[in-house]
């Protein structure tokens, strides 16, 4: 599983509050990603990182920010949570496995905004 | 921008029938291509991938996919469906640092 841990696994929060989700990896992979999964939309890329303090936007970045101050941690922050951000969030890393690049995923965080 | 299209959000087959899940990508440069499976309330598991070399790729659980550059396709097949194959399947393409997913196809298998 490439040593990926997401926390928390479940969270309920109120509209307008800030929320931070954490992704931790143990194998010093350079690339890390945050996705959200919603019915009918598959997984959509929110933000990704290609190194410490190097991040870029994905296709659904509005309302989200990220930070990566050390290789092993990639934080996703919802600055002011809205009901439309209720979703399942997945963190992923990409790694070269010897037969090509492959993505490995965390177990997901189910976020409910009420 | 790169995109991945999965035709058919739901596919239903009988147990023992052929499974065909369709995926097309748009990219001027052939990307790395992947199929992932997600069982209910679980994370994503890699079924198979195409990077370079042989265009027919075999994966786990009897699935295989063929990369066809001329058709920009990477369709997933399995000769004989099992009940345990019921899940959601995602096609994805990796190019220039990003892994982009299709919208998914939910496979139902009837006895």
Average model confidence (pLDDT) for chain B? 91
Between B14 and B26, where is the model more confident?
A: B14
Task: Give the mean pLDDT of A17-25.
Answer: 97
Identify residues of B whose CB sits under 8 angstroms from chain A CBs: 6, 9, 32, 34, 42-44, 46, 49, 51-52, 90, 92, 94, 97-104
Interchain CB distance below 8 Å, A45 and B94: no
Interchain CB distance below 8 Å, B46 and A100: no
Q: What is the rounded CA–CA span in Å between residue B48 and residue B60?
A: 7
Interchain CB distance below 8 Å, B97 and A48: yes
The first and second tokens of residue B100, run together, are: 């982009």
Instruction: Single out the residue of B34, B43, B60, B23 nearest to residue A102, CA to CA.
Output: B34
Q: What is the rounded CA–CA span in Å between residue A76 and residue A4?
A: 15
> Please, how many CA atoms are within 13 Å of residue A17, restricted to the half-sphere of its CB?
12
pLDDT tens-place string over residues B33-70:
999 999 988 889 999 999 888 889 999 999 999 999 89
Indicate the range of A30-34, A68-72, A93-97, B98-102 predicted with least confidence.
A93-97
Q: Give, in order, the Cα–Cα distances in Å from B15 to each of A3, B74, B80, B99.
A: 36, 23, 7, 32
The first and second tokens of residue A58, run together, are: 């994905």
Q: What is the rounded CA–CA span in Å between residue A58 and residue A46?
A: 5
């Amino acid at each position: 599983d490439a040593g990926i841990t997401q926390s928390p696994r479940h969270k309920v929060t109120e509209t307008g509050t800030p929320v931070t989700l954490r992704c931790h990896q143990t194998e010093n992979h350079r690339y890390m990603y945050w996705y959200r999964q919603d019915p009918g939309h598959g997984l959509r890329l929110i933000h990704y990182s290609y190194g410490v303090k190097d991040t870029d936007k994905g296709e659904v970045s509005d309302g989200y920010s990220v930070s990566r101050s050390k290789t092993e941690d990639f934080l996703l922050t919802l600055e002011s949570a809205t009901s439309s951000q209720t979703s399942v969030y997945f963190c992923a890393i990409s790694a070269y496995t010897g037969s090509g690049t492959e993505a490995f995923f965390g177990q997901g965080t189910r976020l409910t905004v009420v | 921008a790169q995109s991945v299209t999965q035709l058919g959000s739901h596919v239903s087959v009988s147990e023992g029938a052929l499974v065909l899940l369709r995926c097309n990508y748009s990219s001027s440069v052939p990307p790395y291509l992947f199929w992932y499976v997600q069982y209910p309330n679980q994370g994503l598991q890699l079924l198979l991938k195409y990077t370079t070399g042989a265009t027919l790729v075999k994966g786990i659980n009897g699935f295989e996919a063929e990369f066809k550059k001329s058709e920009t396709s990477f369709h997933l097949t399995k000769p004989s469906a099992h009940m345990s194959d019921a899940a959601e399947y995602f096609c994805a393409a990796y190019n220039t640092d990003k892994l982009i997913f299709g919208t998914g196809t939910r496979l139902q298998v009837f006895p």
